[in-house]
Structure 1
Amino acid sequence: MGTAAASGYGDGTAPGAAGTAVATGHVDTPTGGPGVFYDLGDLTEGATIEISRADRRTAVFTVRAVELHDRKNFPSEKVYGSTGRPELRLITCGGRYVKGTGYQSNVVVYARLTAVT
């Protein structure tokens, strides 16, 4: 995926802290170009994600699953709920695009902390 900025929830869990850190980003731009999470759905189990933290350390997460969830039946507790251990969720739009209403699903990457460097 390359280096790019995504948006985290300011009042949420910091990446690498106990709990579930969440970052969202667009799959594409209003002009049709690729967004920050354009390739998010291409991640596979075992891939690593590195997040630069405010303390200048890097939190390294390992992907354990990539799922496509219908917006109408989005599993909020599964995605946002805390497991009690440091985890990461990356979320973007996905699935079928319908003009006027947008993407019908969300791609969610589930990852757990495996190192801090």
Structure 2
Amino acid sequence: MHKVGNAAIASVTAVSLCSGAWLLHSAYRSDAPPQPSAAQGAVEPDREGSAAPALPPSPPDRIRIPSIHVDAPLMGLRLTSAGSLDVPPADDKNLAGWYEAGTMPGETGTAIVAGHVDNTRGPAVFYDLGALSKGSTIEIGRRDGSTAVFTVDAVEVYAARNFPDDKVYGAAGRPELRVITCGGGYSKTTGYQGNVVVFAHLTGSR
């Protein structure tokens, strides 16, 4: 695989994640998924704090977030013809994806993982992503048998029109991870209005 980095993802968000399919199609539910509080955000994630040494390259195959009961396989994602990050099939509610032309989780740089918040049948893999707190653990199982362990630095929500591409997708000098789903305001006519983004950095491996 030829790594092209995240620079190819320009001025786009994971908008295909954000139709709000469950809420749009359900006559019985009107509640939206949890959103991060201001206390979980940060102007900039901590880029100077302690980090574990980078791991050798290995594709990821699973993501686990124990505090919100996520345990899901990962598929490779590419860019669409419009230059936006593609998304996993919506019909599989327990599936997430990683940007396979970019950084592998555990390598130096910014690795990208994305998944749906819901589908037509109900909550999907990252429905509770906005409930994560700073200090939470994200585990990425890798194809070489190792597990990259990340600690959450911040959880933020952005309106689509103000999505900070450089902050989310930009290069990092240590192993970092972004986990993205949809969130923000919700409209039954247009779906979710933005994205929830988790910022994390590598703090261990096993």
TM over 0.5: yes
User: Which residue does 2:194 correspond to in 1?
Assistant: 105
Coordinate RMSD, CA, aligned = 0.9
Residue 98 of structure 2 aligns with which residue? Answer: 8
SS state of the match for residue 77, structure 1? helix
- The number of residues matched between the two structures is 116
Residue 95 (1) aligns with residue 184 (2): yes
Alpha-carbon offset, residue 102 of structure 1 = 1.5
Q: Distance in 2 between matches of 1:30 and 1:12?
A: 30
Matched, 1:80 2:169: yes
What do residues 65-100 of structure 1 show as CA deviations (whole Å, max 9, x unaligned)? Answer: 000011001000000001121000000000122123
**1:70 lines up with 2:159 in the alignment:** yes
Q: Which residue of 2 aligns with 1:28?
A: 118
The CA deviation at 1:13 is 0.6
The ranges of structure 1 where at least 4 consecutive aligned residues each deviate by more than 6 angstroms after the TM superposition are none
Structure with greater strand percent: 1
State the structure with more CA Rg.
Answer: 2
Indicate whether 1:45 and 2:45 are aligned.
Answer: no
> Take 2:103 and 2:143, find their aligned partners in 1: how far apart are those partners?
13
CA distance in 2, matches of 1:70, 1:54: 35
Q: Give distance in 1, aligned partners of 2:143 and 2:112.
A: 15
Aligned mate of 1:18, from 108, 111, 115: 108
After TM superposition, the score normalised by the length of structure 2 is 0.55
